[in-house]
Structure formats: C-alpha cells, structure tokens
Amino acid sequence: MELHLNGKTALVTGAGRGIGLAVVRALAAEGVRVIAAARTPTPEVEAAGAIPMAVDLSDPAGAERLVSEATAELGGIDILVNNVGGGDGGLTGGFLDTTEAQWAEVVDLNFFATVRVTRAALPALLAAHGAIVNVSSIGARVPHGGPIAYTTAKAALTAFGKALVHEFGPQGVRVNTVSPGPVRTAMWESRTGYGAELAASMGVSHAELLAGLPAAMGMLIDRLVEPDEVATLVTYLASPLAAATTGADFLIDGGAVKTA
C-alpha cells in the first residue's frame, strides 16, 4: 500500500531499540527522512537510514535542543512520534514499595518528556499541518496490569493526546495514540529487564513467565506483539491515508483489553 509519505520528515524519540527502532525502519522504508533520538543511539539506527541524535530527555533543556537541531537538519517536522518511555525496572512491588524518587523518574520519562518534546515541536508541526503519534500502553486502560507509577504515567499520556488534539486539531495537527500490550522487546526479554525482575519476584523462571504471559494478560493470541506490528500502525496513522483519523487511541494487544 502506498502511504504517500515519501519526502516527509519525522522525529522519533526513544528510537534506539524496540518499538522506536521498528518505527524508524518503517518510516524510512516509506521514504521519510527520519531523526532518530535516543539517549544512546545504536548502530541499527544509521543502518535503517535515519539520522541519529543523542539526547537525554530527562533534562528539560534536552527537548528544546533536540527539536531545534532536528528542525534545522530536516527543514521542518511533518511527523512526531513520541515513543520515549520505560524506566519500569525495580518496580515489581506495590504502591507502598514505590518511592517518591521512583515516581518522579517514571512520570518524567513516560509523560513529561513527551510534553516537553511536543511543546518544542508544535510550531513546526503547525506550519506543516503535521501528525503526532504517542506510544502509550494498555496499562493506561488496565492500570492494575503493571507497575503503578508506570501505568499512571501512561494514563496521563493517553489523556494528554486527547486534550492536545482538542486544542490543535482545528489548526491542522492530527494527534493519535497507540497503546500496545506486551511487546517482544528488551523490557520483557532481557535477562536484566522488567520481565526478568517480575519472574524473580514471582518465584518462576524467566522462560516460564514469558511462555505464560499472553494467557496471563488475557491475550487471544499465543505470543507477544511484535515491534514491527506496532510500527506498521504508527506509520499508517502518520500518513495522509489516515487524514480523517485523529483524537483516537488504538489498542494493539492481541485482544487483552476486553472493554470497548
């Protein structure tokens, strides 16, 4: 399918690996000129044909610097994909186990980093009548299904997209949210990631946890979601083919969320 994205420009955050890297590859394959922002850009970013930019978005000045450099490099921004997130390591306990510092770190990374980048990028997006896609999580809809600080931050991110499009949609900027279920990324598969920590806290092997995760999450497929599947949805939503689609939150979770 021709998505009519050739020659467009995009800024993708959290682009070093996982969903972000898959989005970079998908956009670049459609002829988009992509700035791939990550704390530590990986060789795979350049191999995908994107321009890597190192940035720490926990630094409030990082967003301004990133957008300024990306706009100068690209000559404008047509698409912003806010994928930065994570920081759920060490959060296998409950509410009383989550410290003030952990709350601050997780909310900053999963919510305020996107607020900062979006604020900085809006002038360019308004000029281009561009598109924003925020990558949230099904945890926003089922907040008991993950670490409380993480799912609360993702719920704020989903609400942010809804509020943002109400203000800027009439000015030509589309905003949509993609909410994946468990995706086959390092978060679940790494031996030092959240999945391994969760398995240890439950007294099961990492392999057992991964094998049982789709069923435990109520998924109707017997595997995790693939990063490329999320990237395909993000790329479509960023394209002119989705011109009438805005203000929506799209689940890609293998049927885990049962409510409408």
Catalytic residue set: 150
- Asked if 55 and 117 touch (Cβ cutoff 8 Å), the reply is no
d(C-alpha 85, C-alpha 108), whole Å: 9
SS3 call for 83: coil
Long-range contacts of 185-193 (CB under 8 A, 24+ apart): 185/17, 185/18, 185/19, 185/227, 186/17, 186/18, 187/18, 187/86, 187/88, 188/213, 188/224, 192/89, 193/89
Q: What's at 249, amino acid-wise?
A: D
Nearest to 6 by CA among 79, 88, 102, 85: 79
- Asked if 158 and 249 touch (Cβ cutoff 8 Å), the reply is yes
